Amino acid sequence: MELALPLGTTVVQGANGHGKSNLLEAIYMMSIAKSTKVSTDRELINNLSVTQLEQEKLSYAKISCITEQLQGSENLEIHYRCQSSENLHGFTAQKFIRINGTPRRSSELVGIVNAVLFSVSDLDLIYGSPSIRRRYLDILLSQIDREYLKSIQQYQKANTQRNHLLKLIREGVASIEELKYWDELIAKNAVVITQKRKTAIETLEESSLPFHRSMASKAETLTIHYLSPGDFSKDINIDNFIYKLDVSRKKDIAQGSTHIGPHRDDLIFKINEMEASKYASRGQSRTAILALKMAESEFLYHHRQTKPVLLLDDVMSELDVERREQISEHIKYHDQVIVTTADHSNIPSLFMSDSHRLEITNGSINVI
């Protein structure tokens, strides 16, 4: 399938299950080089490909786009080559990246396409596990900061090695002195990650306030708090982090895992200083996340100097009429916005009349 998406707003309508979310996911994958929905590339492959593999045919898939920016255009491609395997699922998938025809690493693709995605699953930023919130920060910061991307990759590898060593120490086959190298490497990267996360959260919180104020009750105030086990985020430096690791060492060895650091940190959303996950209504939480996403758009624009493409997946369905009008007013100033809906009556009529319209039926797209 090939699709040219114009500037301005585009409304994509169609019944649930026909491919609207898949379209937005494919576009966003060109921004972050991976899916937000699945944990392995294999899960992206259509079931029809599995049937082909069973018949000993090679399966191949590609997602690509041509992005037009002020400095010129770039041809971005994500290739998937699948081959039969004796594993549980019957096949394996390998991913390859090409930029303007040249093989590249995934990290080099990240951030070329500037995009912000809002979907129903984003409510997990409030109600889901801490790992979802950490992943949100990692994806956001990796798009605009190569130092952050490198630090998070190094930190994750070092933490894995340290945990393996902790188990060996517990079993008596390694010495505590061997932790020194990994502690220093983890500390160096933990400082970078934590500082950049905290700064980003402070910026996002400040930028989200006017959006939240316009969409929520005037008596409601949204705040975002960064939490770090051991209070490391209050005094962020290498020596302090190594000290925290020393304090936690006995516990770490006993359980074979590292108990402080960015891999354990969390965000807490509060409305009027009450935790949203415990006390906010679904409407309040949805409004809070919408405000966060608008702030994210400003954040990317500030760092990239180009307005991101807004991808809003069924964003209007659970909003009242007033909030639909307000969000429509906000997003109409973006250069390119793609909104999906299963019911076009959920889209404000004025916004709809000013938009390009597409319809998806069983994966096929037609202009209305």
CATH assignment at residue 235: 1.20.1050.90
pLDDT tens by residue, 136-177: 999 999 989 999 999 999 999 999 999 999 999 999 999 999
What is the spatial distance between Cα 90 and Cα 343, in angstroms, rounded to a whole number?
38
Residue 208 lies in a domain: yes
Rounded (10°) angle between helices 130-144 and 179-215: 90
What is the spatial distance between Cα 190 and Cα 183, in angstroms, rounded to a whole number?
10
- Give the predicted TM-score (pTM) of the model: 0.87
Q: How many CB atoms lie within 10 A of CB 74?
A: 15
Work out whether strand 336-341 and strand 266-271 pair parallel, antiparallel, or are unpaired: unpaired
Token look-up 């949203």 returns 276
Give the chain's count of helices (H) and strands (E).
13, 13
The predicted structure's pLDDT at residue 68 = 87
> How many structural domains does the chain have?
1
The predicted structure's pLDDT at residue 315 = 85
Work out whether strand 72-84 and strand 59-69 pair parallel, antiparallel, or are unpaired: antiparallel
Residue 257 lies in a domain: yes
The predicted structure's pLDDT at residue 329 = 85
For residue 157, give Cα distances in angstroms to 152, 263, 345, 346. 9, 12, 49, 46
The predicted structure's pLDDT at residue 43 = 77
Residue 288 lies in a domain: yes
Which amino acid, 92? T
In this structure, are residues 274 and 284 in contact, taking their beta carbons and an 8 Å threshold? no
* Share above pLDDT 70 across residues of the chain, in percent, rounded to a whole number: 94
End-to-end CA distance of the chain: 17
The predicted structure's pLDDT at residue 215 = 84
Residue 345 lies in a domain: no
Residue 106 lies in a domain: no
Domain range enclosing 291:
115-305
Residue 168 lies in a domain: yes
The predicted structure's pLDDT at residue 136 = 95
Residue 109, class by beta-carbon neighbours within 10 Å (0-12 exposed, 13-18 middle, 19+ buried)? Answer: buried
Residue 204 lies in a domain: yes
The predicted structure's pLDDT at residue 57 = 56
**Parts of the chain with a pLDDT under 70:** 46-58, 86-90, 217
Residue 77 lies in a domain: no
What is the spatial distance between Cα 311 and Cα 120, in angstroms, rounded to a whole number?
12
